[in-house]
Amino acid sequence: MFQHPGDSNISKFQVSEFILMGFPGIHTWQHWLSLPLALLYLLALTANILILIIINQEATLHQPMYHFLGILAVVDMGLATTIMPKILAILWFSAKAISLPECFAQMYVIHCFVGMESGIFVCMAIDRYVAICKPLHYPAIITESFVVKATVLMALRNTLTTIPVPVLAAQRHYCSQNQIEHCLCSNLGVTSLSCDDRTINSIYQLLLAWTLMGSDLALIFLSYVLILHSVLKLNSAEAASKALSTCTSHLILILFFYTVVIVISITHNATMTFPLVPVLLNVLHNVIPPALNPMVYALKNKELRQGLYKLLKLNIKGNECGRGSLR
């Protein structure tokens, strides 16, 4: 399948598949992680589907802010589904092999979804900025058309700018080894196995992180600085508290999302000393936000809570009626 790097004709050989080893350092008992990861994945799917159902059924939630939340739910489910079935297959069935095209495709989709989540956070920050700082102009600025245009723009941005990631990775030559100490096909994890120079891959990964994530984080930070400045000028403490409460759930998710991204970037340099840390963080970063996002919004948002209670109440009544008719 692959050739030792000492062979003189090394350039003629190319591995046909990669082997995803799972979590480094704990291979003998890593299958025990399958239960919490499977529960997180199930929670992410269930919670986000509930959010979509509630938003669809409640006419009062047919607003731009909730449209963005619905898009975030779809992105979260896509991100979790991109990685979790393969991770569970590795842990349950030792299905560690993955072909090169499948690996590069997974790499591309992960980058797209992560970038899309970051972009939706920007849209939601702009929505909150206009709602709090320019409330009279909100209906004219944040319209259905704005939601569609912003979503399409973010989708195009992330699908196009991330294309070079798998393309550059596919251009590398993999001839010496094919075992990846990871559960998924991360760009740097895969290209570290290449036999030729991978500087361009590292440079583009860094450039992508700064241009996409960096610019998104800067826009979000600017939006909330302006929101805070506007709120502090309010004479009513109650109005200020109400304005800030609408942003709390958003801020919690943003802080978690970008904090983990920064931590992963920092700990990646320590992979030789603590190889498990960046791998575990990378996996959790792709599965915890999808599970956490809908719960935070449901707990902090009165309209969503009411929609959830109404949905559950209807289901309970429906079941009771069904049992009554059987009698």
Fold that domain 18-305 belongs to in CATH: Rhopdopsin 7-helix transmembrane proteins (1.20.1070)
Domain ranges of the chain: 18-305
User: Which stretch of 28-42, 227-241, 292-306 has the lowest confidence by average pLDDT?
Assistant: 227-241
* pLDDT tens-place string over residues 212-242: 999 999 999 999 989 888 888 877 777 677 6
| Amino acid 281: pLDDT | 85
What's the rounded Cα separation, in Å, for the pair 102 and 29? 26
The answer on pLDDT for 258 being more than 60 is yes
If you ran DSSP here, which 8-state letter would residue 179 be given?
E
Look at strands 179-180 and 17-20 and give their pairing: parallel
Q: Is residue 64 very low, low, confident or very high in pLDDT (cuts 50, 70, 90)? A: very high
What's the rounded Cα separation, in Å, for the pair 294 and 77? 11
Cα 183 to Cα 23, 90, 133, 169, distances in angstroms: 6, 8, 44, 17
pLDDT higher for 314 or 197?
A: 197
Phi, psi (degrees; rounded to nearest 5) at 99: -70, 160
Tokens of 326: 């059987």
What's the rounded Cα separation, in Å, for the pair 49 and 72? 11
